[in-house]
Homo-oligomer: A and B are copies of this chain.
Amino acid sequence: MELWFTEKQTKNFGITAKIKRTYVTEQTEFQKLDMVETEEFGNMLILDGMVMTTQKDEFVYHEMVAHVPLFTHPNPRQVLVVGGGDGGVIREVLKHPSVEKATLVEIDGKVIEYSKQYLPEIAGELENSRVEVKVDDGFMHIAMSENQYDVIMVDSTEPVGPAAKLFEKGFYEGISKALKEDGIFVAQTDNPWFTPELISKVFKDVSEIFPITRLYTANIPTYPSGLWTFTIGSKQYDPLEVNEERFHDIETKYWTKELHKAAFALPKFVADLIK
């Protein structure tokens, strides 16, 4: 018998992956959590039926969330990751020596627990002494923070279930308040093929709060359409105006100095979404 996991990425389109074994299938307090081993992408974390990360392609998302804002800010010391319980963004954040403390606020402790167990090369740095892990509501954490962070990264699930409120304008206002006066934030904002309205809406909301708003992309094969977008809101620093001398050497598999800027060169139909 062959087992295949199929994610319907839209009502009418999806991806399908052959499964070697299922490690976990559990209804947590917040969502359905599956951890499986796939033939093609190694271990895979699935939340509410949607692929969150896989061993083979996780580096793209995690590097591109972390390094673009961290190389844009001249001296990031206090960093907050909202969501991201698999620990991949934290791992990349720690590659920046200026970072004194990285705080992770993940609402679902089970995501952290199973990631440590089945995705150790992604979650391993959650034990690092520069990291504080809080199992808590990221929305509330943001609401109670003021002038505290240099960089905030929103590593959420899709805007359904527990993450829905992380795509509301009020949340971005909270982020602005939680950031220092020269702070910068990034959020994953889905894909332009199946959810163009979301990208337009978030970009508009963010640009009404932050003086500098930018959209960039990366290729993630297990995410819908393979083309993922990230929206940056920044109070002072423009990712397109980075002094390239600031790029120190870090070990990456996706991010490069050239891609840092090239990732903002959008296909025309994507650029049209944020006009």
> What is A's interface to B at a CB cutoff of 8 Å?
6, 10-18, 38-41, 56-57, 60, 193, 217-221, 224-227, 252-256, 258-259, 261-263, 265-269, 271
CA distance A15 to B16 in the complex (A): 6
Cβ contact within 8 Å between B271 and A266: no
Given contacts A12-B40, A13-B18, A225-B219, contact A265 B267 (CB under 8 A): no
Closest 7 CB pairs of A and B: A226-B226, A262-B265, A12-B39, A262-B262, A13-B40, A221-B225, A12-B18
Across the interface, A256 reaches (CB within 8 A) one of B17, B226, B267, namely: B267
- Apart from A12-B17, A226-B227: 9 A-B pairs, beta carbons within 8 A: A11-B39, A14-B17, A15-B16, A221-B225, A221-B226, A226-B226, A252-B268, A256-B271, A261-B262
What B residues does A218 contact at CB under 8 A?
Answer: 267
Docked-complex contact B267 and A259, CB < 8 angstroms? yes
Q: Tell me, rounded to whole Å, the shortest Cβ–Cβ distance linking A260 to chain B.
A: 9
Which of B60, B225, B268 is in CB contact (< 8 Å) with A267?
A: B60
Q: Identify the closest chain B residue to A223 (Cβ).
A: B226
CA distance A27 to B37 in the complex (A): 37
A165 CB → nearest B CB, Å: 28
Task: For residue A176, give the distance in angstroms from its CB to the closest CB of chain B.
Answer: 29
- Closest Cβ neighbor of A39 among chain B residues: B12
**C-alpha spacing A40/B15, complex, angstroms:** 13
Instruction: Tell me if A267 and B13 are in contact (CB < 8 A).
Output: no
Q: Which residues in B have their C-beta under 8 angstroms from that of A217?
A: 219
> Across the interface, which residues of B come within 8 angstroms of A265, CB to CB?
256, 258-259, 261-263
B residues less than 8 Å from A40 (CB atoms) = 10, 12-13
- Please indicate the chain B residues that have their CB under 8 angstroms from the CB of A271 in the complex: 256
A271 to B220, CA, bound (A): 16
Q: Which residues of B contact A193 (CB under 8 A)?
A: 56-57, 221
What's the least CB distance linking A198 to chain B, in Å?
Answer: 16
- A240: min CB distance to chain B, Å: 11
In Å, the complex CA distance between A271 and B256 comes to: 10
